[in-house]
C-alpha cells in the first residue's frame, strides 16, 4: 500500500497562482517520482500539468491541499508547500 501525504495551506500570493508561479510549481513537481495532485474548492488537478492546474481557482486567500502518493511523497509535499508559501 502506497503512503499518501497531504498538507493544506492558504495561497498568500497576491495575484494567486497564475501561469508563471504555476509553471514553477509544475517544474518542481516534475522533479519527484510521486503522483502529485492539488485540490482547491472541491476540485483536484494533476500537479505536474500546468494546463490542469489552471482549471483550479487558485486565487489569493484560497485554501489548497497538496496530495502526493508514491516513493518520495513526503519530500514532495514538504518542498511544494514551501514553494507555495514563498510565492508573493
Which residues are tagged catalytic? Answer: 18
Residue 41: CB atoms within 10 A of its CB come to 11
CA distances from 27 to 1, 2, 19 (A): 27, 23, 12
Residue 30: CA count within 13 A, CB half-sphere: 9
Residue 7: which of 50, 37, 34, 43 has the closest Cα?
A: 37
Amino acid at each position: 500500500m502506497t503512503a499518501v501525504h497531504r498538507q493544506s495551506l492558504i495561497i498568500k500570493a497576491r495575484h494567486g497562482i497564475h501561469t508563471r508561479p504555476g509553471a514553477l510549481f509544475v517544474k518542481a513537481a516534475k522533479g519527484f517520482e510521486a503522483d502529485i495532485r492539488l485540490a482547491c474548492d472541491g476540485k483536484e488537478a494533476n500537479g505536474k500539468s500546468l494546463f490542469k492546474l489552471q482549471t483550479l481557482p487558485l486565487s489569493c486567500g484560497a485554501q489548497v491541499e497538496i496530495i502526493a502518493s508514491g516513493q518520495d511523497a513526503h519530500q514532495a509535499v514538504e518542498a511544494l508547500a514551501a514553494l507555495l508559501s514563498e510565492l508573493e
